[in-house]
Chain A
């Protein structure tokens, strides 16, 4: 049981990295990865929302949708839950921890349309994980996202001072860097 959970967690971080292997959550990955500071903020915000969203969507699926045979409302209910969750978290953080809000607040609204959150929630259901496994998967995915974002931001800060052909500047070079990173992450396969 314990080993199984650790395996899910490690696999989610390295082998099935949300961004570099499953290709989810690219918008923030490319959009917020130009500075390390903002990448850190976004990373923490995503980990937090992912964990929360997985718990809530898992419970809704198994305690509401399945018993009532309303599985076809899955997509619509999950996205509404995630959207309201993000709003709610934003409100709570703003009221209770202004300092945290200063650093994370701007990233929170962006997370609603981060497909990693909805994607991981759907994957949890699709693979038939139980609640603990779903949390392990979400935690791994969040940390994996954080790692990928941080590595990317580190590389891009250095890329700023490199000479790059005019038409490759910005997004194109970022994607090619991401491609190389993804290749590197493929080396983790077979770890578990």
Chain B
């Protein structure tokens, strides 16, 4: 795989959310507005880059029996760092993402990439993989958030949209809307994949 493919595979083809089905909780819980989705995407990408590179660097040193606890410590460290940074520099985002920032620790994408990729590949490839997967995660979150914010609040990035802003369907920004939009989106992705001939 060349570097470009390494980077772009996560965007769509192996999208962590839509295809691999990892990291669903934040995908649904913080996708009620586009700005939350972008914030969460950036936070998760930061953690992913940090943990993937660190784990790749240490991959020959870590005794394999204790690799999972070591991964967890590394991931949790990066998560706490980004948590504090967001609280310090963007208190509004910190308030709206709430406990979902510390919950990045248990986001399966991150542990999943550590175990499936960073553990076996070099630092540079791991970096590309992390960026790709992070962007893929952000794209997926934004897709969901686009529909939810537009239909549920009649807004995009907090700006009112003509036509949609009259009597928005509130349920779309609540939990049920997340489930339904997500279900329809993965169905759509599958339909496109099958029409595409694979």
B and A form one assembly: yes
Contact of A115 among B77, B80, B103 (CB under 8 A): B103
Give the chain B neighbours of A141 by CB distance below 8 A.
Answer: none
Q: How far is the CA of A73 from the CA of B186 in the complex (A)?
A: 37
Contact of B180 among A21, A122, A179 (CB under 8 A): A179
Do A20 and B175 touch across chains, with their CB atoms under 8 A apart? yes
Q: How far is the CA of A182 from the CA of B190 in the complex (A)?
A: 24
| B79 in the interface (beta carbon within 8 A) | yes
Contact of B24 among A30, A176, A180 (CB under 8 A): A30
Q: How far is the CA of A64 from the CA of B182 in the complex (A)?
A: 41
Known: A113-B108, A126-B99. A24 touches B72 (CB 8 A): no
Q: Which A residues between 12 and 58 are near B, CB-CB below 8 angstroms?
A: 20-27, 30
| B183 in the interface (beta carbon within 8 A) | yes
Give the chain B neighbours of A167 by CB distance below 8 A.
Answer: 187-188, 190-191, 194
| A65 in the interface (beta carbon within 8 A) | no
Q: How far is the CA of A180 from the CA of B99 in the complex (A)?
A: 25
Chain A's nearest CB lies how many Å from the CB of B172? Answer: 10
Chain A's nearest CB lies how many Å from the CB of B14? Answer: 16
Count of chain B residues near A, Cβ 8 A: 42
Per DSSP, are chain B's interface residues mostly helix, strand or loop, or mixed?
A: helix
Per DSSP, are chain A's interface residues mostly helix, strand or loop, or mixed?
A: helix
Contact of A119 among B76, B99, B188 (CB under 8 A): B99
Do B194 and A21 touch across chains, with their CB atoms under 8 A apart? no
Give the chain B neighbours of A25 by CB distance below 8 A.
Answer: 25
Known: A23-B178, A113-B111. A75 touches B102 (CB 8 A): yes
Task: Report A155-180 CB contacts with B as 1/0, cut-off 8 Å.
Answer: 00000000001111001111110111
Task: Report B174-186 CB contacts with A as 1/0, cut-off 8 Å.
Answer: 1111111011101
Closest to B195 in A: A167
Give the chain B neighbours of A60 by CB distance below 8 A.
Answer: none
Q: Which A residues between 64 and 105 are near B, CB-CB below 8 angstroms?
A: 72-76, 79-80, 83
Closest to A122 in B: B99
Closest to B24 in A: A26
Do B176 and A171 touch across chains, with their CB atoms under 8 A apart? no
Do B187 and A23 touch across chains, with their CB atoms under 8 A apart? no
Q: Which B residues between 74 and 117 are near A, CB-CB below 8 angstroms?
A: 76-77, 79-80, 83-84, 98-99, 102-103, 105-108, 111
